[in-house]
């Protein structure tokens, strides 16, 4: 059974009733927290963070390792909740939600020693002179404090867990605001932390409807917000956070291009395209949405992809291992996809497979859909559609493919398919987005060492990898001086001699190169000693 809401959350009287979108059966009911409880939760998180940060690095590391083992041992229970809340196939719940998040956790734990190790700053030409004078600088990382993690429903355990363990490894406490479409999966994160003896209040899950709890959290004085969701909601988060100058990391939507060159391994490329387009029923920011195929192979590619997509078995995939695609999250989501496809066809698109609700399944199922005869300016190409819809457009040259890939407001991930790795690397480095993958779909969310994020309508900042850890700490600069000299030449009171020495120092340091910086600076020691 999924974990229920904890007694620590104040009941607002509202209840979220969650049904399985594949079977429409009741999954559970979750009481919502009252927004007035949010400041209390933040205070509790701040107290817990201080206790957590005061523990030795080894103690924190050991507890997070215990947390990882607990999650691995309870993977089936967690995956079951994920499947029931989202309807996704069991393999996707275990591989994407559970395994990917454990990969991120393993990376974060391994990096804790390096992250908190002081780093001496090399002062360049001044370095030797500064050391002789008894001075130097170093950087050290310290936790930001309380991190607010606001997550969507499409990866309802993987996203909150991976972002939470990154924040914990960086010495912070976490308040999770999960989507009301999938609150029970996030409760597993809270239960795991409590079970593994993490400081009480260190990780809290606040369930609420709509934007009430989320907005209150943004206004509560948390020290950083990590938000994953739509561009529309991301703008709201940024606006609210700006009122208190709260830094934010925004991982928003995507419209990932998938470029197939004429020398690609066609069979493997088609398999990658089908998985990338229809995994999680297309409800993923990093899904394959726009396929560009070199014209000489576009007909063969399109036919092969349509044939393979039409064979995907849909349904409730917990007990049936052959189910490869689940439902959309809700009836509203289903209608949104229907409207997007209808508009595209009105504008001249042609559907070669799918294009409708599943005729016999009772849940929110929409068939895997491939659209051709597409123009680049159509909304179906330019705007994110959160569903199993992919467009195919032919191109002639590498330059045209790059131009088409870049002609979209979203820039999250991209992929390029070719047998020529040199050609692939050259083009990949020019592709938009935070990640470009050669001969695979952007699965690197599941590799803890690699950063994740985009630009433009896909947001900014990074989660995962070393770059993601740096967003969860404050990098503090310390400069030290042994006090060997009575004064610096720029200290007051000023006089003619100091002015002349200051002007000479500018020329010594930044004028024409030549001579020892140490010797030049030592010429001014007499003024510094008096």
Instruction: Report strand pairing: 256-260 vs 369-372.
Output: unpaired
Whether 270 and 303 have beta carbons less than 8 Å apart is answered as no
Calpha distance 297→267 (Å, rounded): 12
Calpha distance 285→251 (Å, rounded): 9
- Determine how many CB atoms are found less than 10 A away from the CB of residue 53: 16
- Determine how many CB atoms are found less than 10 A away from the CB of residue 262: 14
Contacts of 385 (CB under 8 A, 6+ apart): 282, 289, 336, 337, 340
Q: What count of residues does the chain have?
A: 530
Of the candidates 251, 367, 457, 471, the residue annotated as catalytic is 251
Torsion of CA 387, 388, 392, 397, to 10 degrees: 70
Tokens, residue 121: 């700053």
Torsion of CA 461, 463, 467, 469, to 10 degrees: 120
Helices then strands, counting H and E runs in the chain, come out as: 20, 20
Calpha distance 177→214 (Å, rounded): 6
Calpha distance 428→436 (Å, rounded): 6
Query: Is 83 labeled as catalytic in the residue annotation?
Result: no
Concatenated DSSP letters of 384-395: ---SSEEEEEEE
E strand or H helix that includes residue 64: helix 57-73
Q: Which residue from 187, 159, 154, 149 is spatially nearest to 16, judged by alpha carbons? A: 187
Calpha distance 109→472 (Å, rounded): 14
In sequence order, the β-bridge partners of residue 193 are none
Query: Is 193 labeled as catalytic in the residue annotation?
Result: no
Question: What DSSP character marks residue 121?
Answer: P
Tokens 């002015």 correspond to what residue? 499
Dihedral sign from CA coordinates of 365, 370, 376, 378: negative
Phi, psi angles (nearest 5°) of residue 108 = -60, -45
Q: Which residue from 107, 92, 80, 91 is spatially nearest to 3, judged by alpha carbons? A: 80
Of the candidates 285, 367, 384, 408, the residue annotated as catalytic is 285
Question: What DSSP character marks residue 19?
Answer: E
Q: Catalytic positions, please?
A: 251, 285
């Amino acid at each position: 059974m999924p974990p229920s809401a904890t007694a620590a959350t104040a009941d607002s009287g509202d209840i979220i009733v969650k049904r399985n979108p594949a079977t429409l059966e009741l999954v559970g009911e979750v009481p919502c927290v009252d927004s007035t409880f949010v400041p209390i939760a933040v205070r509790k998180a701040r107290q817990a963070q201080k206790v957590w940060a005061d523990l030795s690095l080894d103690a924190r590391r050991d507890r997070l390792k215990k947390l990882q083992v607990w999650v691995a041992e309870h993977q089936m229970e967690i995956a079951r909740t994920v499947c029931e809340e989202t309807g996704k196939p069991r393999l996707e719940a275990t591989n994407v939600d559970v395994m990917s998040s454990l990969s991120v956790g393993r990376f974060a734990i391994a990096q804790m020693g390096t992250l908190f190790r002081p780093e001496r700053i090399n002062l360049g030409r001044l370095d030797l002179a500064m050391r002789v004078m008894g001075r130097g600088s170093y950087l050290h990382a310290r936790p930001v404090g309380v991190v607010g993690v606001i997550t969507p429903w499409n990866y309802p355990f993987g996203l909150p867990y991976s972002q939470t363990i990154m924040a914990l490894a960086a010495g912070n406490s976490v308040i999770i605001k999960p989507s009301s479409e999938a609150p029970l999966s996030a409760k597993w994160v809270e239960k795991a932390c409590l079970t593994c003896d993490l400081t009480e209040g260190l990780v809290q899950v606040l369930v609420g409807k709509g934007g009430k709890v989320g907005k209150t959290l943004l206004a509560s004085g948390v020290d950083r917000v990590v938000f994953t969701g739509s561009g529309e909601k991301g703008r709201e988060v940024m606006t609210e956070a700006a009122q208190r100058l709260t830094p934010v990391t925004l991982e928003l939507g995507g419209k990932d291009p998938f470029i197939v060159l004429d020398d690609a391994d066609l069979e493997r490329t088609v398999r990658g395209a089908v998985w990338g387009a229809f995994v999680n029923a297309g409800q993923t920011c990093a899904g394959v949405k726009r396929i560009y195929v070199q014209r000489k192979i576009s007909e063969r590619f399109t036919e092969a992809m349509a044939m393979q997509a039409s064979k995907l078995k849909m349904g409730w995939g917990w007990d049936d291992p052959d189910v490869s695609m689940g439902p959309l999250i809700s009836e509203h989501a289903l209608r949104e996809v229907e409207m997007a496809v209808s508009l595209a066809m009105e504008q001249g698109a042609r559907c070669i497979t799918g294009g409708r609700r599943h005729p016999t399944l009772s849940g929110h199922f929409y068939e895997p859909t491939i659209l051709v005869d597409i123009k680049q300016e159509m909304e179906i190409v330019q705007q994110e559609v959160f569903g199993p819809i992919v467009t195919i457009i032919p191109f002639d040259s590498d330059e045209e493919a790059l131009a088409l890939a870049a002609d979209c407001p979203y820039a999250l991930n991209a992929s390029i398919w070719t047998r020529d790795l040199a050609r692939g690397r050259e083009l990949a480095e020019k592709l938009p987005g935070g990640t470009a993958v050669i001969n695979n779909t952007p699965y690197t969310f599941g590799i803890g060492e690699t950063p994740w994020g985009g630009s433009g309508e896909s947001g900014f900042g990074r989660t995962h990898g070393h770059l993601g850890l740096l967003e969860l700490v404050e990098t503090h600069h310390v400069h030290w001086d042994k006090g060997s000299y009575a004064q610096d030449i720029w200290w007051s009171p000023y006089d003619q001699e100091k002015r002349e020495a200051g002007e000479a120092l500018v020329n010594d340091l930044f004028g024409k190169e030549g001579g020892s910086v140490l010797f030049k600076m030592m010429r001014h020691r007499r003024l510094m000693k008096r």
